[in-house]
């Protein structure tokens, strides 16, 4: 019998505002060695965001080139901007046997599952719809129009929860971070 191949690639998805970045930031505070892929995006930086840290902030033309050169493992348009995962860095980590975490949207998660069926898909769900709206508006980083677009996208994302291998409800940041680390077999 073939030895079980453990999933080394973990995808974390969930509606905008559910707390993905907060959970990942906490996880990395506890375990700085956990590697998170840095995506490329055409979105403008929010205050405090730095090129090469939260994202590689690129122009539309630069993003076109990344796509044309096959440099993205997956990419998607989300609420008016494009986002994609640089392929090489992810493959290098996996080849070195290190756990890899992607924090990407539903469309990207589907593409990864298709091209890398051994990956595990984790859905981060809000305790309730009202709490999701509160968190997204409370963050205060988007205009009312952008919040509306993201809430529309959130309805689609929430309806796709069953496509994921595991659901974690983000009630406690510390608790979810711990569960995610366990799923990634870091602890």
Q: Which two tokens stand for residue 184?
A: 């990634």
26 is a contact residue toward ligand 5GP (CB under 6 A): no
20 is a contact residue toward ligand ADP (CB under 6 A): yes
22 is a contact residue toward ligand ADP (CB under 6 A): yes
8 is a contact residue toward ligand ADP (CB under 6 A): no
Partner interacting with residue 149 (select from ligand 5GP, ligand ADP, none; CB below 5-8 Å by kind): none
17 is a contact residue toward ligand ADP (CB under 6 A): yes
85 is a contact residue toward ligand 5GP (CB under 6 A): yes
Q: Is 16 annotated as a binding residue?
A: yes
Q: Per-residue contact track with ligand ADP, 113 to 152, x per CB under 6 A?
A: ----------------------x--xx-------------
Q: Is 20 annotated as a binding residue?
A: yes
* DSSP E strand stretches across 131-187: 166-169
Query: How far separated are the first and last CA of the chain, in Å rounded?
Result: 27
Distance CA 124, CA 161 (A): 9
166 is a contact residue toward ligand ADP (CB under 6 A): no
Look at residues 136, 161, 145 and name the one whose alpha carbon lies nearest to residue 22: 136
Q: Which 3 state secondary structure label does DSSP give 49?
A: coil
CA angle 54, 58, 62 (to 5 degrees): 145
Q: Which of 10, 16, 42, 170 binds ligand 5GP (CB under 6 A)?
A: 16
Sign of CA dihedral 161, 56, 94, 176: negative
74 is a contact residue toward ligand 5GP (CB under 6 A): yes
> Max alpha carbon distance in the chain (Å)?
56
19 is a contact residue toward ligand 5GP (CB under 6 A): no
Q: Which one-letter DSSP state was computed for residue 161?
A: G
Q: What is the contact surface with ligand ADP in residues (CB under 6 A)?
A: 14, 16-22, 135, 138-139, 170-173
Cite the annotated binding site for ATP by residue number: 14-21
């Amino acid at each position: 019998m073939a030895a079980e191949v453990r999933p080394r690639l973990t995808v974390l998805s969930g509606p905008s505002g559910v707390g993905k970045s907060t959970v990942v930031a906490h996880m990395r505070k506890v375990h700085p060695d956990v590697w998170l892929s840095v995506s490329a995006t055409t979105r403008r930086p929010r205050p405090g965001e730095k090129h090469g840290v939260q994202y590689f902030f690129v122009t539309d033309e630069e993003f076109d080139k990344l796509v044309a050169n096959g440099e993205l493992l997956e990419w998607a348009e989300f609420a008016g901007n494009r986002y994609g995962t640089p392929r090489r860095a992810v493959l290098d980590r996996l080849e070195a046997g290190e756990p890899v975490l992607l924090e990407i949207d539903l469309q990207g998660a589907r593409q990864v599952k298709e091209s890398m069926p051994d990956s595990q898909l984790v859905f981060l769900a809000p305790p309730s719809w009202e709490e999701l709206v509160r968190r997204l508006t409370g963050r205060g980083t988007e205009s009312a129009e952008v919040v509306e677009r993201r809430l529309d996208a959130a309805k689609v994302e929430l309806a796709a929860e069953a496509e994921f291998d595991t659901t974690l409800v983000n009630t406690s940041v510390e608790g979810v971070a711990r569960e995610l680390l366990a799923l990634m077999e870091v602890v």
